[in-house]
Amino acid sequence: MPKKIIIILPLIFVIFILLYYWHGLNTPFVASGESKNFIINKGEGVKLIAKNLREADLIKSNLIFELYVWLNNKQAEFKAGEYILNTSLNIKEIAEILTRGFAVNKDIRLNMPEGLTITEINERIKKSGFKFGDDFINLADKSIGNWKLSATKPDFLNDAPDNADLEGFLFPDTYLFFNDATAEDVIDKMLQNFELKVTEDMRRDIKTQGKSIYEIIIMASIIQKEANIDETGKGGNEEAGIISGIFWDRLKFGQALQSDATLSYIFTDKNPQHTLEETQIDSPYNTYKYKGLPLGPIGNPGLEAIKAAIYPVKTEYNYFLNKLDSGAAVFSQTYEEHLRNKAKYLK
């Protein structure tokens, strides 16, 4: 091969790479802009920020974004916060906004832990500085049938009965709002977050199992209260998966779930155990008295509980209880073993 060609080919390759980088750097995701909220949490690195930007359809290339950040030594300059980014911005402009800290000035931070009920969320909202009083609970308690008539209704609500409320679908998270936000704004953001977190793959797996999203959310809301869950997902949450497997098996074999968490929902208490008399209360949420799932969710579960409900762990266990001191689950295969564990851990 002539020397000129040997020299020219690498040169052409370098020019091509430079042009590709320059084009990717300066070309927006789309020419016509759409504003989107984007959040950087404390401790997030360049790679995760780039991944989140790509998944939000704000940039076309993770690699070019990361390369630009590293070449310009901006990797330590990202500021945590919530931003409004437009799809007409290019990578350089987005990096400038995120590193200079032009975050949205939101006035109210609402921290919503996993497992809260609509009533408990409402109490937090009333203490957070919103101006709409009880509008939230009035809307959240409104039947899903009314929400289905909305032009912006999320598709996942189609799985729920028309007379159900939004219990179970208000996704737990930390939210930022302007102080003039309405109850509709708060609910819409929680529903949008649910739609984002419960992925298409998860919904496809639910459908493959012959279950509905509503059934999964009911089960997840019970698991949320019965299991010790690491909400970061780093702990594996095997305990939640095993409890899920036990509960689904009970339904499969026509047995009652016998979950004290459902009784706590009825009595609005936090008791890990209930009396024999309490287990006889006539309520569609009483899983001691009635077989099958309760009428609806008993709270708003987090992502890890939802995953546990979708992906139960199959074991030989048939029973479990939670230690009074730590809340950790103790599993057993036979009823006799379960009784021994009750005598050991619940007295």
Of 153 and 228, the one with more pLDDT: 228
Cα-Cα-Cα-Cα dihedral sign, residues 261, 262, 267, 268: positive
Contact 82, 97 (CB under 8 A): no
Segment 166-184 mean pLDDT: 90
Of 112 and 36, the one with more pLDDT: 112
What is the pLDDT at residue 306? 98
H-helix or E-strand containing 332? Answer: strand 329-332
Find, among 315, 347, 308, the residue nearest to 331 by Cα.
315
Mind listing the domains of the chain with CATH numbers?
Answer: 29-100 (3.30.1490.480), 108-197 (no CATH), 211-315 (no CATH)
Above 90 in pLDDT, residue 103? no
Measured between alpha carbons, how far is 71 from 67 in angstroms, rounded to an integer?
6
Residue 94 CA to its chain's centroid (Å): 26
Name every residue whose Cβ is closer than 8 Å to that of residue 36 and which is 6 or more positions away in sequence.
56, 57, 58, 84, 85, 86, 87
Q: Tokens 């630009």 correspond to what residue?
A: 68
Q: What is the mean pLDDT of the chain?
A: 87
Name every residue whose Cβ is closer than 8 Å to that of residue 205 and which is 6 or more positions away in sequence.
310, 311
What is the pLDDT at residue 170? 96
What is the pLDDT at residue 210? 97
What are the structure tokens assigned to 298, written together? 């008993």
H-helix or E-strand containing 176? Answer: strand 173-177
SS3 304: helix
What is the pLDDT at residue 295? 97
For 54-93, write each residue's pLDDT tens digit. Answer: 998 888 888 889 988 888 888 788 888 888 787 878 888 8
Q: Which of 36-50, 94-108, 320-334 has the lowest mean pLDDT?
A: 94-108
For 267-312, write each residue's pLDDT tens digit. Answer: 999 888 899 999 999 999 999 999 999 999 999 999 999 999 999 9
For 238-270, write each residue's pLDDT tens digit. Answer: 999 999 999 999 999 999 999 999 999 999 998
